[in-house]
Amino acid sequence: MKVSQLLVAAALLASANAGAWKVYNDDSYTLTGCNAAMLKSATFCGGGIKTFACACKNQPAMASVMQCLADRTDKDQEVLKEWFVYQCAAVNKTVTVEELDASYENASDYWVDLDHKPAGYNKSAISYRPVKNGNMTKYFTGYIVSYRKRYGTVDRSHYQGMSLLSAWALLLLIATLSNWFTRMSPATLKSMNNSLTRKARQYLGLAPTFRKHHVQSVGFFGYIPTRFESVVILVNFLFLLFCNTIGYSYDQRDLVFTSKMGGISRYIGDNSAVLLSYMTPLVFLFPGRNNFLQWCTGWSYGRFVAFHKWLARLYMCEIIIHSGAMAVTSQAVGKWATRLAVFWYRWGIVASVAGGLMIIGAGYTARRISYEVFLLIHFVLGGIFLAGAWIHCLDQEYEQYYYAAAAVWCFDTLIRFARIAVFGVRTSKVELIANETLKVTVPRPAFWKPYPGAHGFVHFVTPLTFWQSHPFTLVESTVHDQNIHFYIKIKNGITKKLASRIQKSGKGFTNIHVSVEGPYGERNHYEHYNKAVLLAGGNGIPGPFSHAMMLGTRDVEKTEVKLYWSIREYYSLNWFFDELMKLKGTNVQPVIYVSNAQSSLEGVNFDSSSQSSSSSDNEKTDSQEDLKDTSTSQLQKLKETFGFIEFRTGRIDIEKVISEEVAEANGSVAIGVCGHPAMADQARVAVAHAIGENKNRIDYFEEMQTW
Ligand SMILES: Cc1cc2nc3c(=O)[nH]c(=O)nc-3n(C[C@H](O)[C@H](O)[C@H](O)COP(=O)(O)OP(=O)(O)OC[C@H]3O[C@@H](n4cnc5c(N)ncnc54)[C@H](O)[C@@H]3O)c2cc1C
CATH code of the domain containing 438: 2.40.30.10
Has residue 160 been placed in a domain? yes
Please work out whether the CB of residue 437 comes within 6 Å of at least one atom of ligand 1: no
pTM of the model: 0.89
Q: Same domain, yes or no, for 446 and 530?
A: no
Ligand 1 centroid, distance to 454 Cα (angstroms): 15
Please work out whether the CB of residue 368 comes within 6 Å of at least one atom of ligand 1: yes
Q: Same domain, yes or no, for 171 and 282?
A: yes
Has residue 392 been placed in a domain? no
Please work out whether the CB of residue 294 comes within 6 Å of at least one atom of ligand 1: no
Ligand 1 centroid, distance to 183 Cα (angstroms): 30
Please work out whether the CB of residue 542 comes within 6 Å of at least one atom of ligand 1: yes
**Measured CA distances, 172 to 179, 228, 296 (Å):** 10, 13, 8
Ligand 1 centroid, distance to 519 Cα (angstroms): 16
Ligand 1 centroid, distance to 226 Cα (angstroms): 21
Ligand 1 centroid, distance to 222 Cα (angstroms): 15
Q: Which of 485, 520, 555 is the last residue of a domain?
A: 520
Q: Same domain, yes or no, for 58 and 128?
A: yes
Has residue 366 been placed in a domain? no
Greatest alpha-carbon span in the chain: 127
Contact status, residue 123 vs residue 38, Cβ threshold 8 Å = no
Contact status, residue 97 vs residue 79, Cβ threshold 8 Å = no
Atom of ligand 1 nearest to the CA of 521: 1
Strands 112-113 and 131-132: parallel
Ligand 1 centroid, distance to 215 Cα (angstroms): 13
Instruction: Give the residue, out of 368, 495, 565, with the most ligand 1 atoms within 8 A of its beta carbon, to mutate for a pocket test.
Output: 495
Ligand 1 centroid, distance to 470 Cα (angstroms): 6
Atom of ligand 1 nearest to the CA of 367: 47
Q: Whose CA is nearest to atom 10 of ligand 1?
A: 488
Ligand 1 centroid, distance to 220 Cα (angstroms): 19
Q: Whose CA is nearest to atom 14 of ligand 1?
A: 472
Ligand 1 centroid, distance to 490 Cα (angstroms): 10
Q: Whose CA is nearest to atom 51 of ligand 1?
A: 471
Atom of ligand 1 nearest to the CA of 437: 11
Task: Report mean pLDDT in 10-residue bins for the chain, 707 residues.
Answer: 56 47 76 94 78 92 95 90 93 94 92 89 90 94 94 92 96 94 82 87 89 81 90 98 96 95 97 96 96 94 96 98 97 94 95 97 90 95 97 86 94 96 97 93 95 96 92 90 94 94 94 96 92 97 96 83 96 93 94 93 73 43 55 83 95 96 94 95 95 92 89
Q: Same domain, yes or no, for 261 and 402?
A: yes
CATH code of the domain containing 597: 3.40.50.80
Please tell me the distance from the alpha carbon of residue 165 to that of residue 181, in angstroms, as a whole number. Answer: 24
Has residue 74 been placed in a domain? yes
Please work out whether the CB of residue 494 comes within 6 Å of at least one atom of ligand 1: yes
The helix (H) or strand (E) run that includes residue 567 is strand 560-567
Residues 6+ apart with CB under 8 A from 630: 602, 621
Q: Same domain, yes or no, for 91 and 16?
A: no
Q: Same domain, yes or no, for 409 and 512?
A: no
Residue 7 is predicted with a pLDDT of: 53
DSSP states along 290-343: T-HHHHHH---HHHHHHHHHHHHHHHHHHHHHHHHHHHHHHHHTT-HHHHHTSH
Q: Same domain, yes or no, for 534 and 636?
A: yes
Please work out whether the CB of residue 300 comes within 6 Å of at least one atom of ligand 1: no
Residue 250 is predicted with a pLDDT of: 96
Contact status, residue 332 vs residue 261, Cβ threshold 8 Å = yes
Q: Which of 134, 163, 197 is the last residue of a domain?
A: 134
Residue 321 is predicted with a pLDDT of: 98
Residues 6+ apart with CB under 8 A from 595: 566, 567, 568, 649, 650, 651, 652
Please tell me the distance from the alpha carbon of residue 289 to that of residue 640, in angstroms, as a whole number. Answer: 45
Domain that holds residue 688: 526-702
Atom of ligand 1 nearest to the CA of 472: 5
Has residue 276 been placed in a domain? yes
Q: Note if the bond before 519 is cis, omega within 30 degrees.
A: yes
Q: Same domain, yes or no, for 177 and 299?
A: yes
Please work out whether the CB of residue 473 comes within 6 Å of at least one atom of ligand 1: yes
Q: Which of 520, 537, 571 is the last residue of a domain?
A: 520
Dihedral-angle region of residue 636 (phi above 0 means left; psi in -120 to 50 means alpha; beta otherwise): alpha
Q: Looking at this protein, which amino acid is placed at residue 562?
A: K
Q: Same domain, yes or no, for 474 and 553?
A: no
Ligand 1 centroid, distance to 503 Cα (angstroms): 21
DSSP states along 116-177: GPPTT--TTSBPSS-EESTTHHHHHHHHHHHHHHHHHHHHHHHHHHHHHHHHHHHHHHHHHH
Q: Looking at this protein, which amino acid is placed at residue 233?
A: I
Q: Same domain, yes or no, for 406 and 466?
A: no
Q: Looking at this protein, which amino acid is placed at residue 228?
A: F
Q: Which of the 8 DSSP states describes residue 555?
A: S
- N residues, the chain: 707
Ligand 1 centroid, distance to 132 Cα (angstroms): 74
Has residue 388 been placed in a domain? no
Has residue 473 been placed in a domain? yes
Atom of ligand 1 nearest to the CA of 368: 47
Please work out whether the CB of residue 455 comes within 6 Å of at least one atom of ligand 1: yes
Has residue 353 been placed in a domain? no
Q: Which of the 8 DSSP states describes residue 208?
A: B
Ligand 1 centroid, distance to 465 Cα (angstroms): 14
Please tell me the distance from the alpha carbon of residue 225 to that of residue 233, in angstroms, as a whole number. Answer: 9
Q: Same domain, yes or no, for 414 and 270?
A: yes
Atom of ligand 1 nearest to the CA of 471: 17
Alpha helices in 616-698 (DSSP H): 624-641, 654-664, 677-693
Of the candidates 438, 441, 541, 537, the one whose C-alpha atom is nearest the C-alpha of residue 490 is 438
Q: Same domain, yes or no, for 130 and 233?
A: no
Of the candidates 305, 146, 438, the one whose C-alpha atom is nearest the C-alpha of residue 707 is 305
**Measured CA distances, 495 to 10, 452, 470, 473, 603 (Å):** 38, 23, 10, 15, 23
Dihedral-angle region of residue 443 (phi above 0 means left; psi in -120 to 50 means alpha; beta otherwise): beta
Q: Which of the 8 DSSP states describes residue 2?
A: -
* Reduced DSSP (H G I as helix, E B as strand, rest coil) percent helix, strand, coil of the chain, to 5: 55, 15, 30
Strands 509-520 and 426-433: antiparallel
Please work out whether the CB of residue 472 comes within 6 Å of at least one atom of ligand 1: yes
For the chain, the domain total comes to 4
Q: Whose CA is nearest to atom 4 of ligand 1?
A: 472
